[in-house]
Amino acid sequence: MTLQFVYNGQDFVTDAQRSSGNGLAPEPSNFDLTIQAGWSDRMNRGLFRYHLDDLQTRIMPGPHGYVAQLNIQRGLQRRKPQEILSIKQEFNANQFNFNKIDPEEVIFEMTKVVEGRKEKGQLHERWRVVVLVNVSPLEFGHCLFVQEPSCCLPQVLTSFSIQVGIESVLLSSDPGFRVGFNSLGAFASVNHLHLHGYYLHHELQIESVPVKPLVPEKGFYRLLDFPAGFLFYTESECVVKVARAICQVTDFLVESNTAHNLFLTRGSPPSDQIQDEKDHCSRKGVRIAVWPRTSCFGAKDESAFNVALCELAGHLPFKNKKDYELSTEKDVKDVIEKYLLPEAEFHTLEQHLTGRLTEL
């Protein structure tokens, strides 16, 4: 029988404070313990395509502090990605999907309750979430959150899936737990609705980078640093409202055939200035970065440096040693720049989305 993980709002960790240098690891939450134990068990039982040891890691010199990691096996052993031809591509039951996995890959199913009842209109039985291991992991704990696999939803975000992603971050006491999403045309490998989750125990600038307020009452901001994108912020009491606002943005991006990546992480409250140490280390809420970008269709080259949710957030998985050792921050920025929208197109999109969220 599949393990059931049942939670409510009282299980959210109100502040996963980032260490200011004492090096002490946070006490893991029940959510962390469940994912980590289940993931390690599957790794020890040989259910992955390769054994993941501690990855060789370096902080790349430069103001962005990129976290580079060498993961050669992912490039060699990963399942061949599907050929994607459209951001609105329909689900195809004949292709690989998460209904075809080994049942042993499932770690648990998530259910949210409120005062002893399943949460009406949000997380309920019809929309269960299955959490399974990613058999070609990027990092420790790499798992997938799949919204009701039997519904065969394509890789297009729903308000519910966004809410699940935010709440998963809030359930973790570890500021290094991240969640992300790649749309079709933005290097999604499987056209079956899923989000990624994994642990990366290195601080990323996206956690505290200054932002410009656009519609702050909806938690909507613009990232001021490279790469150009949008940012939402929420603490535990506003998750549903912010998830709906994010979905308004991603729905429009799908409608306009604009590929996009999302990255969800513990972060400091939004500010347009460099923060003092106390605010910089605060992790009471979740930052959700949304990057509209140019589309990439066809099957991707797994040996290449492909720009998806990790790379845009400053986590750089390299698949060959030469690139890992020799790439500079400028090299990385030059590659990422090719995938971003032209400045004029991004500015037009910013104006439209600001107006759209203001009217709601």
Q: Could you list the active site residues?
A: 194
| DSSP-derived 3-state class of residue 327 | coil
- Three-state secondary structure of 121-186: CCCCHHHCEEEEECCCCCCCCCEEEEECHHHCCCCCCCHHHHHHHHHHHHHCCCCCEEEEEECCCC
Residues 81, 10: Cα–Cα separation, whole Å: 39
Residues 81, 86: Cα–Cα separation, whole Å: 14
| Structure token digits, residue 20 | 């200011």
Nearest to 270 by CA among 355, 213, 225, 351: 213
Q: Is 12 exposed, middle or buried (0-12, 13-18, 19+ CB in 10 A)?
A: buried
Nearest to 47 by CA among 109, 131, 132: 132
Residues 74, 182: Cα–Cα separation, whole Å: 17
Strands (E), the chain: 4-7, 56-59, 67-70, 106-114, 117-118, 129-133, 143-147, 177-182, 194-199, 211-215, 220-223, 230-234, 259-267, 285-293, 315-318
| Structure token digits, residue 329 | 């921050």
